Structure 1
Amino acid sequence: MLWKLLIAINIFATVYAAVLQEVFKWRDVGFAWPSEEIKREALQNQDYIPANNLPLGLARWRNRLFVTVPRWKAGVASSLNYIPLNTSDSSPALIPYPSLKANSLPKNGETLEDNHIISTFRIEVDACDRLWVMDTGLADILGSAEQYSKPALVVFDLNTDRLLRRYEFKPSDLKESSFLANVVVDVQHDRCDEAFAYIPDLGGYAIVVYSWKNNESWRVNHNYFHFDPLNGDLTVGGINFQWKDGIFGLALSRVMRKGYRTLYFHPLVSTHEFSVSTEVLRNQTLASDPNSYNLYKIEGNRGVATQASSSNLDLQTEVLFLTQLQKDGIACWNTNKPLNPDNVGIVAQDREALVFPNDLKIDAERNLWVLSDRMPVFLFHTLNKNEYNYRIFRIKVDDAIANTPCVL
C-alpha cells in the first residue's frame, strides 16, 4: 500500500506541471571582464573565486535580464549584472551594471561613489523604467561579514543608465538583527514621483516604507511579519537545515479604490499568506498606530511544506505565483478564491532543475521568469562544479496556469 500512496502523492504534485523553457544555465558563473589581464589579476588576488558566485535575484527590462549575485562569500566579482536577451549563449557571462568599478569592493581607503553596489539580493524594475536595487552594504556574509556601507536603496534610470538617487536608511528604520534583502515598488507610470517602496526586514520582522516624493522612510511592525516556529525545519536538495527568516515575499495587486493596492506578504518560514492595504503602509501615522493591527488580514494557509522565498502577482488574472522551496517547484493561487491547499496549483516541478527556486518575476509582456540556484547546497555543503547548478526559466503566465485551480 505504501508504494501506491507514494505514486498518488507524486501524481498529485505534478498533475498541473507546465513545461518551463530553460533559457540560461551555468555550472559556475562567469563575468564580462574589460580584459583577460584584469580577470587574471582578480583570480590571483581572489577578488574573483568562481565557485563563490551564486546568482539569486532577477528582473527583466526590455532586452536586459538583470541578475544579482550577493556577496555571501569572498570572491564575488560583481553583485549587480545583466544579460542581453539577444545572446545565443546558453551560459552567458554576466555584465556588471552599471560598471565593474561600481560593483568592486573598495581597497586602501578608496572612497565609494554614490552608484556603488556592495551586495544585492533582489531588485525591481518599475513602470517608470527605473531599476530599484536594495543594497545591503554587507560583504562576505558567511565569512568576515564586513559592512562597507549603510543599507540603501539605489535607483537607476534604465533609459540612460544614470543614477537617480541613493537613499541610506536611517537608524530608526533598522534593528541590530535587521536584514533588508528585497524591494517591491508601488507606482503608476503617469505618477512616477509618487512612488513608494516596501522593503521587508526578514531579520527584524518589519516592513520599511520609503516615499520617493518625500525622500523619507519609516518602519512598520506587525505580528504577522514574524516567522512560524512550526515551519522552520526545511529539507532542500538533500540538505536539512533550520531557518527563522521572517517577512520576505511581497507582491502587489492591481490599483484599486482610491489609488491603493493590496500588498500580499508572507514570512519565508511560514505556510500562511497575509495581506494589507497600502493605504495603511503609506500613512506613517496610521501604520504606527496600534489600532491598525486588525487592518491586516490572514488570507489562509497554502498547505504542508509550502514555504516560499519569492512571490509575484499577475495583474491581468490576479494570480499570485510563489516559489516552493521544499517541493522544487512553482505554485499559483488565484487571489479571487479562498486560500487553501485545494486552490493552490503546482504549475512546475523538477527535482533536478528546480532545486531551490529562489526568485521569480513577471515582466511587462506577462512572461514568468524563474531562477533556481541550489542555495542550501551552496551555503551548507559544496556544489558539484561538473553539474549545472544555476538555471533561469521562462513561461507565459497563461500557459503556466492552464489546467490548474488558478483559472477562474
Structure 2
Amino acid sequence: MSKAIAKTGVVRAMGAMSGTSLDGVDVAVVETDGLSIHGFGPSRYHPYSEAERSTLRAALGLWHGPEVIAATGVVDAAHEAALAGFEEVDLVGFHGQTLAHAPRLQGTLQVGDGSRLAAALNLPVVWDFRSDDVRLGGEGAPLAPFFHFACAKYIKASGPICFLNLGGVGNLTYVDPRFDSPEAAGALLAFDTGPANAPINDLMQTRLGQPFDKDGRIASKGVVETGALELFLAEPYFTKMPPKSLDRNDFAEMIDLVGELSDADATATLTAMCAASVAQGMEHCPEPPSVVLVTGGGRHNPVLMQMLEVSLDCPVKQIEEVGLDGDMLEAQAFAYLAVRVARGLATSAPGTTGVGACVGGGVVSMPDR
C-alpha cells in the first residue's frame, strides 16, 4: 500500500531531469518542506545510450507521430531505471523530456508518463509541471527559479545573485534574497538567455561524431568569426524584455552562420555566441548581482567560462564554490517543486515565466487508483 503525501513537515523528494542536451537522466534527493531546503540526499546519473539519444534527437521539434511515441518509450524506460533503488523517498518530481516548446503557439510538450512511473515505483509522482503555466499565459519556462530562491537562502546570500544554467539552452535567474518569499514582486527575474550547449553539441555530432566539445578543446584552437557573432546578436529575441523562453531549436540557423568555417573556428564562434547572449541578458538585471553562479554542463567548458569572465561585470563562479551541485541542481529543483505542487504552493510567478499571477502547475499521480 502506498503512503499518502504528508501535508506538512519535511519530506524526502526525489527529482528527475532529462535536459535538452540529451545526455541522460539526473536524479537527486532533496529534504524540504516546499519552502526551505533542509538537506540534500543521494544522487545518480543515468546516461542515454547512443541509440536512445538518436531516438530522442529524431523527435525534437515534433508534437506527435511515431518519433514522439518512440521517444516517450525511451524516456519512460530510462527514468524507471534511473529512479529505482532509492530508499526512504516520499514522492517523485518527474520533469520528462522536452521535445517542443512554443508557448504562444502550440504550447509545450514534455514526454513521459507519470502515472506509469508511479505504478512502477509505488510512489506518488508529480509531473507535467509546465502546462498549467502556459495555459494561463506564461512561458512555461524556466521553472527552476523558485528553487534558486530557496538555494540563495540556503547559502545565506545577503544580496542579489544570479544563477546561470548552461544546458542545451541557457537560462538566467536573478534572485534577491532580501525578500521573504519567491512570490514577492521583485524577488525573482528569470528568462532564457539564448542557445548554450545545444548548437555546439549538434555541430560536434554532425562534423566529428562526438557528443560535445569536451573541455572546450576544439573551441580553444579556433578564432571567433566576429561577423557571424554580430549577425547572431542582431536577432530580435535579444532585445525582447523578459520573461521569455526558447525552444532548443529556435536558433538552429546558428549552424548555417558558421557553415563555412573550420571545425575549430565554428566551435569557438558558437561558444562565443553563448557567452555574448548571457552578457546581453545580464543587462536586464534590476541591480548588479554580486556573483553569477554557473550550473549545468557548460560550466565544465573552460573556454566558455573564460569568455563569461571577460564579458560580465561581476565574478563568475562554478556553483560548487558555494557548496551546491551543478550537475544535479535541476533534478533537485524538480524534487523541490514536486513538494510545492503536492502542497498547493506556487511554482511560477509573473517575474519568472510572465504568467498573469502566481500559479502552481503539475499533475499528481498516485500508484493506487
For the criterion TM > 0.5, the same-fold answer is no
Normalised to the residue count of structure 2, the TM-score between the two structures is 0.30
Q: Which has the larger radius of gyration?
A: 1
Normalised to the residue count of structure 1, the TM-score between the two structures is 0.27
Per residue, is there more strand in 1 or in 2? 1
Per residue, is there more helix in 1 or in 2? 2
